[in-house]
Amino acid sequence: MTAMLKIENLHARVEGKEILKGLSLEIGPGEVHAIMGPNGAGKSTLGNVLSGRDGYEVTEGSVTYMGQDLLALEPEERAAAGVFLAFQYPVEIPGVNNTYFLRAAYNAQRKARGESELDSMEFLKLVREKLKVMNLSTDLLNRAVNEGFSGGEKKRNEIFQMALLEPKLAILDETDSGLDIDALKQVAEGVNAQRDPQRSFLLITHYQRLLDYIEPDFVHVLADGRIVESGDKTLAHKLEEHGYAWVAEHGEPAGAA
Amino acid sequence: MASPFVEAQAERAPDVLARLPGAGLPWLDALRREQLEAFVREGLPGARNEAWKYTALRALERRAFLTGDAEAAARAVDISDFVLPGVDGPRLVFVHGVFRADLSSLDALPEGLRLHPLSQALVEDAEPLRFFLSRGGEQAADAFTRLNAALAGDGMVLRVAQGARIDAPVHLVQIGTPADEDLAWHARNIVELGEDASLTLIEHHVGTGPHKHLGTQVSDIVLHARAKLAWIGLQEAADGALLMRRDRVRLDANAHARVHAMELGGSLVRRELDAELRGEGARLDTRGVFLPGGRQHLDTRLDIRHVAKHTATDALWRGVADQRGRGVFHGAITVAEGADGADAALSNKNLLLSPHAEIDTQPVLEIYADEVMAAHGATVGQLDERALFYLRSRGLPAVAARTLLTLAFCRAALDDLDHEALCEHLGERLAERLPGGETAA
């Protein structure tokens, strides 16, 4: 089986400081991988590098996505190729209508793939279907992107966008942070509803509790810029029990802790 | 020594003055000559003049313009050059400052509305205009206001009778069109709303082909007690055009003016809005956008004076400069002694889309009264990189994402426009002017 995403010996810098120090990871189609790790381990940097944010300099290594060099693509090209990042902090964009934004994004992706664009009626029908799945109210569509949304609404909106855009690889960057238990369940349900043999997930999280609701196939521990331990979902429970310090002793050294 | 600009105006002036509508009226002749002499004596303001610090006139000073267009009545202009969606009421059209009956629409005016060209009023019954025209340039007199007072023979005279509510918007169109020489034209407008009257006025500056003419326009607007004016300015002059406008607005008790402006065209453009809130409870809301690109220079100056108690101003302006575009915004609000309980807010936010673009913004708040609420702020910045990345991460190409954010930034100034069709049209015009806008709209 060929990997959907293959990260090899990835080194990346932010503002001259090396954050990722030789990270390697393979994700096959339909697999759900969780990356856990303490603050400062490089979790969010990984999500940002994969989605193409400015300011992240890759100094070594490679990322191959469905046979192509992912790092050579612009963020919008990655999106059109099926990579989706659910933001840890979704951005409020005053003045940009949510529906307009979603349709522009949806059609831009279709256009980039050489597919036909949807008119506003067709699109609205699609949006209504997807909204139901996330239990979001339709009045959210008439508001500006993320503006005045509660923390939970913002995160649910990210998962709703994912449902709409139907990516092949979804990266969820601490989507569980700041959520109460009900919102967490809703987010998890939204993700689970989209699990598919052709869709892979990379869940980036600090806490194990998200994994109670979204069961991963693999769990990796990220410390000091590389993966120091990999296993099945039971690894998450060990971490919960012993804390990240346990990894530092048990696995490779994770710097001064 | 007089500059070529001043010299050219002075040289032909006697000839022009003799042929202007209203010539032969002793008081008007005297006034025009006096203003012309003052203009020639003082010349154009230099760089040391504080009010012109950011708008240099050196290039203008070296140019000569031919005053008065003898061909204005015959120049080919198509009505499709200036029609606006949802605006098909009374219309007054001027080409190079000269009234064009063939393009205008003055039949079947609603009751309570009197609307005619100044050229006609000066010939038929000039006396009622004497008060307005005599004001000339006694306050904030500058070279262009003087030149206008001396040489303007046409423009719009609009009066709304006490209590009359005019539903159909009045469309005032000033057109510049290609000619063999660079022309100078001058227009003078007078607008008066009686007590409890209401009106929507659309002031529209249009260019129908490449030219480098200079236009000046001075408007006097008086709102008597409780009158309501919605005034929407769309400036889309030709890329090479020069345009100098001064608007003087007087608001009596509980009068309300809502002024929207979109400054898109022209190479060197200045608009000065002087407003006096001189009746208790008067209110001025102003929203505007200026969008200099290429090598355009767009200058907006607000000078708002709260004279009476419980008067209010709310000014929200946005500027976006691209390429080598230059924007200037000066927003001055003065709350005079005795104007207690005034409420003044002014905000000017600006975006620079290119490293060569520049915007100078200067909010000025002077308060001499008690219990005043006042807030002002001005910023110059770039597009939010986080928002840009968010949009791109969802698949929007970089150019489309930039356009979408820029448009959203500008639209804040159009949000409360009541006229839906026009609001939509203005949004489209904005989008077209933005980089990459044609593909994103």
Q: Are residues B394 and B268 in the same domain?
A: no
User: Residue B189's domain spans which residues?
Assistant: 4-277
Contacts of B390 in chain A (CB under 8 A): 87, 90-91, 93, 145
Same domain, B186 and B40: yes
What is the structure's pLDDT at B292?
97
Pair B394, B259 in one domain:
no
* Residue B26 within a domain: yes
Q: In what order do the strands lie in the sheet with A17-27?
A: A17-27, A5-14, A56-65, A68-69
Chain A CB contacts of B401 under 8 Å are 76
| Last residue within a domain, chosen from B228, B261, B277 | B277
Reference B330, options B362, B357, B355; nearest CA is B362
ipTM for the predicted complex comes to 0.94
pLDDT tens column, B399-430: 999 999 999 999 889 878 888 899 999 999 99
A161 to chain B: which residues are within 8 Å by CB? 394
Does residue B182 fall inside a structural domain? Answer: yes
Q: Quick one: pLDDT at residue B9?
A: 86
Q: Distance (Å, rounded) from C-alpha B205 to C-alpha B216?
A: 11
Does B315 fall in a domain?
Answer: no
Per-residue pLDDT reduced to its tens digit, B57-110: 999 999 999 998 989 999 999 999 999 999 999 999 999 999 999 999 999 899
Q: Same domain, yes or no, for B260 and B401?
A: no
Model confidence band, residue B55 (pLDDT cutoffs 50, 70, 90): very high
Chain B environment of A112 (Cβ under 8 Å): 395
Rg of chain A on CA atoms, in Å: 18
* Band (B141; pLDDT cuts 50, 70, 90): confident
B375 shares contact with chain A (CB less than 8 Å): no
Element (H, E) at B330: strand B326-335
Choice between A151 and A167, residue whose per-residue pLDDT is larger: A167
CB contact (8 A) between residue B386 and residue A101:
no
State the average pLDDT over residues A198-225. 93
Q: Which residue, of B253, B277, B301, is where some domain finishes?
A: B277
Instruction: Tell me if B313 is assigned to some domain.
Output: no
Could you tell me if residue B43 is inside a domain? yes
Angle between helical axes of B143-151 and B26-42 (0-180°, round to 10): 150
Report the alpha-carbon angle B202-B241-B414, nearest 5: 35
Whether B216 is in a domain gets the answer yes
Pick from B287, B388, B390 the residue to mutate for testing the A interface (most A CBs within 10 Å).
B390
> Do B394 and A54 make contact, defined as CB atoms within 8 angstroms?
no
Six-digit token string for B324: 């080598």
Domain architecture of chain A: domains with CATH: 5-250 (3.40.50.300)
Question: Which residue in B396, B405, B408 is closest to A105 by CB distance?
Answer: B396
pLDDT at B355 over 90: yes
Q: Nearest CA to CA, how far is A240 from chain B (Å)?
A: 32
Residue where a domain stops, chosen among B277, B292, B310: B277
Residue B337 pLDDT class (50, 70, 90 cuts): very high
B244 neighbors B214 (Cβ within 8 angstroms): yes
* Interchain CB distance below 8 Å, B394 and A161: yes
Q: Judge whether B198 lies within some domain.
A: yes
- Cα of A186 vs its chain's centroid, Å: 16
Are B129 and B258 within one domain? Answer: yes
- Separation CA B253–CA B222 (nearest Å): 12
**Which residues in chain A have their CB less than 8 angstroms from residue B396's CB?**
76, 104-105, 108
Q: Which residue of A has its CA nearest to B414?
A: A95
Q: Are residues B117 and B241 in the same domain?
A: yes
| Total domain count, chain B | 2
Q: Is the pLDDT of residue B136 over 60?
A: no
pTM: 0.88
Above pLDDT 70, what percent of chain B?
Answer: 97
Cβ separation B391–A101 shorter than 8 A: yes
